[in-house]
Amino acid sequence: MSAEKSSTSFRDRQERLRALMEARRVPLIVVTHLINVRYLTGFTGSAGMVILGPSQGILWVDPRYTLQAREQAQGVEVLEEKKGILKAAAVWLGKNGVREAAFEAANLSVAQFDLLRQEAGAGVSLKPAGELIEELRVVKDREEIEAIRSAGKVTAEVFAELLPHIHPGATENDLAAEIEYRMRNKGAEGAAFETIVVSGPRSAYPHARPSTKALQESESVIFDLGAIVDGYAADMTRTVFLGEPGRRQRNLYSAVLKAQAGAIRAAQDSAPAGKVDSAARRILAKHGLARYFTHSTGHGVGLEIHERPRLGKGETTCLRSGSVITVEPGVYLEGFGGIRIEDTVLVGPDGPEILTPAPKDNWIIG
Amino acid sequence: MSAEKSSTSFRDRQERLRALMEARRVPLIVVTHLINVRYLTGFTGSAGMVILGPSQGILWVDPRYTLQAREQAQGVEVLEEKKGILKAAAVWLGKNGVREAAFEAANLSVAQFDLLRQEAGAGVSLKPAGELIEELRVVKDREEIEAIRSAGKVTAEVFAELLPHIHPGATENDLAAEIEYRMRNKGAEGAAFETIVVSGPRSAYPHARPSTKALQESESVIFDLGAIVDGYAADMTRTVFLGEPGRRQRNLYSAVLKAQAGAIRAAQDSAPAGKVDSAARRILAKHGLARYFTHSTGHGVGLEIHERPRLGKGETTCLRSGSVITVEPGVYLEGFGGIRIEDTVLVGPDGPEILTPAPKDNWIIG
């Protein structure tokens, strides 16, 4: 399903990182977060680490991945190591006279750090790098956007196909399985997270998991789903109602839908992330629903399902053209049920674009 | 699908941990590995941490999980924290006059450690705990064994159902999707790892992922699959041949099957893990195949797909009654293909028991 990837995008990412490192006075970085290894080199194996310096680029892998790494990795030399890749990289630092190396403090365990320090030797000074690569990843390049667009398309199509299967008697589990099966059949690598299908009073718990509960007449059902294509995730939520909703239900749905539309409109280049959140909150407050909206409005999405930026209260990080985020306000009323509506949204030069194009108005089923 | 869990098993695990802590002179432990949090308390959320001391047992969660934690967690007090659970736990250590706390060095990042140290204050001495809980987890209790047994049963049943779908023209991806769909339909929470279906020359790569390649006549196909039930994984591999295998293919299959049987026989209470590995290797060596067996013979399996013990060369850790391991010798011939046969095996008081009961003799299809 994936288009052939150009090697230039990976080399571009490495050059952008080198420029950022220079600006931050980081001479050399040890990349242990596997997602960042993939982002920089294209290598998709389950173990590997990179050292990147002004003129160095090395990827260490164990023998399971040597062939794969040589095929996939761009812009770096691939070294095979049988007895621990972290140790090998540490020894390399010591032997090559490196004085200062930065590490990913959020993605290196204390045990790994101790090994790194010990094997590199006292001559190498180790410092936290800050989340440099995560910072780069906030702005997606063309290939990344295309991957997320494909993932969003699969996600929306699967939901459209699922609609006829949503009826009283179907269980949450069965529908979740059906969703993930259809994603795979459409060429997705899988689900980006455990698909959520929760119904009735259970929908009042934002993070409930699907159960063997069967859907019933006059219940709302929340579907939260996302496919992975080429390593990139989409994330979408739709809420439907089985039967004829009451007035309260209609009002709640309409308020959440308006809050979502308002928040999406706020997702502009250079807008602080907190502004998207406050747009959703303001509209829900107008409907007297602010206190039922118990989580933040969204998050970045890409190689990881939760990335920067967080779209929460007072968040000052600015969105940029090329950022991809979720916009997902919801209200949760204990004993009654919940409603959440979510899209994956690209912040484009000409405004926001929804990448999960499934309808939101045909929410009444049966 | 899950039977009601008794609260006693979680309290038992906490008491076993307290006894081990006392023996190792660990006064109090900060548990940040989520799998260990689940093992100790039963809490299944995606964020939470525990402090356990001689008379203390606290689980911190954020507001998303308060209700769920209060329902699920056994033997611990549940505290809700909005602004960072690690920080809250660190502050608790400082305020409660704790002098020494052990942490999980393999599951605490350098950034988390710095936060913990800073917020706990200089009065609290932090030391690596060693992998105490991982040690306990090597011997499964009755409920854990039942969960793995259920997962193994689902895994074997799904493979049996899949057999009629295996034919030239079916793609690796489609078969993998079919497997995962059927797992879910049988009540599994999902697949314990990305299902492997690799065929023909691709089967020579032990860690290849399913692709859009269609199966062809006269190819071997490796299926590596495992369901999760109640959080516990099973792990099974079967190799089949499409058409009439040649003599070499038959000899290879027969040698791997014998190696697996010999290794399973060696999986006895009190046997060093390395003995299982050497049993497989010895039999393959007899057939001149030792050098094509390029990985270790297996690993523990439970809440994680790879746990202790590792069944590798010279491993001296002893198996114990209640250990659950995989036994999975294989041979990989570049350009020709691979064969691997794997079961999840319970080390019982009366000898090994296979928990993934799918046949291994009907390997020729069509």
pLDDT digits (tens, 9 = 90+) for A186-214: 989 999 999 999 999 999 988 788 988 99
Q: What pLDDT digit, counting tens, does each position of B176-190 carry?
A: 999 999 999 898 998
Task: With CB atoms and an 8 Å threshold, state whether A181 touches B176.
Answer: no
A217 close contact with B: CB closer than 8 A: no
Q: Tally A–B CB contacts below 8 A.
A: 90
H or E element in which residue A277 lies? helix A273-286
The dihedral sign for the CA sequence B272, B277, B282, B283: positive
Give the closest-approach CA distance of B43 to chain A in angstroms: 13
Residue type at B308? Answer: R
Task: With CB atoms and an 8 Å threshold, state whether A128 touches B111.
Answer: yes
Task: With CB atoms and an 8 Å threshold, state whether A184 touches B176.
Answer: yes
A224 close contact with B: CB closer than 8 A: no
Question: Of A1, A174, A295, which has the smallest distance from its Cβ to B185's Cβ?
Answer: A174
B207 close contact with A: CB closer than 8 A: yes
B45 close contact with A: CB closer than 8 A: yes
Give the closest-approach CA distance of B300 to chain A in angstroms: 19
Give the closest-approach CA distance of B71 to chain A in angstroms: 13
The pTM of this model reads 0.89
| Partners of B190 in beta bridges | B228
Task: With CB atoms and an 8 Å threshold, state whether A206 touches B64.
Answer: yes
Rounded Cα distance, B260 and B181, in Å: 29
Q: What are the residue ranges of helices labelled H in chain B? A: 7-23, 34-41, 66-72, 85-95, 110-120, 132-137, 142-162, 172-185, 247-265, 273-286
ipTM (interface pTM): 0.85
Q: Which chain B residues are Cβ-neighbours of A113 within 8 angstroms?
A: 110
Q: Which of B110, B202, B292, B293 to mutate against chain A (most A CBs within 10 Å)?
A: B110
Question: Of A110, A181, A206, which has the smallest distance from its Cβ to B177's Cβ?
Answer: A181
Q: What pLDDT digit, counting tens, does each position of B41-84 carry?
A: 999 999 999 999 999 999 999 988 998 899 999 999 999 999 99
- CA-based nearest residue to B333, from B252, B273, B262, B279: B252
Question: Of A110, A185, A205, which has the smallest distance from its Cβ to B128's Cβ?
Answer: A110
pLDDT at A2 over 60: no
Task: With CB atoms and an 8 Å threshold, state whether A64 touches B114.
Answer: no
Give the closest-approach CA distance of B351 to chain A in angstroms: 32
Task: With CB atoms and an 8 Å threshold, state whether A110 touches B108.
Answer: yes
Q: What is the DSSP letter of A124?
A: S
A56 close contact with B: CB closer than 8 A: no
What pLDDT shows up at residue A4? 47
Q: Of chain A residues 284-343, which have a CB less than 8 A from chain B?
A: 294-295
Rounded Cα distance, A171 and A215, in Å: 6
Rounded Cα distance, B110 and B88, in Å: 18
Task: With CB atoms and an 8 Å threshold, state whether A105 touches B111.
Answer: yes
Task: With CB atoms and an 8 Å threshold, state whether A106 touches B105.
Answer: no
The dihedral sign for the CA sequence A152, A158, A163, A165: negative
Task: With CB atoms and an 8 Å threshold, state whether B106 touches A103.
Answer: no
| Contacts of A204 by beta carbon, 8 Å cutoff, 6+ apart | A332, A333, A334, A335, A336, A337, A338
DSSP string, A140-162: --HHHHHHHHHHHHHHHHHHHHH
Q: What pLDDT digit, counting tens, does each position of A56-101 carry?
A: 999 999 988 998 899 999 999 999 999 999 999 999 999 999 999 9
A66 close contact with B: CB closer than 8 A: no
Rounded Cα distance, A326 and A354, in Å: 9
* pLDDT per residue of chain B (366 residues) written in tens, 0 to 9: 344 456 789 999 999 999 999 999 999 999 999 999 999 999 999 999 999 999 999 999 998 899 889 999 999 999 999 999 999 999 999 999 999 999 999 999 999 999 999 999 999 999 999 999 999 999 999 999 999 999 999 999 999 999 999 999 999 999 999 999 999 989 899 899 999 999 999 999 887 889 889 999 999 999 999 999 999 999 999 999 999 999 999 999 999 999 999 999 999 999 999 999 999 999 999 999 999 999 999 999 999 999 999 999 999 999 999 999 999 999 999 888 999 999 999 999 999 999 999 999 989 998
Give the closest-approach CA distance of B213 to chain A in angstroms: 12
pLDDT at A8 over 90: no
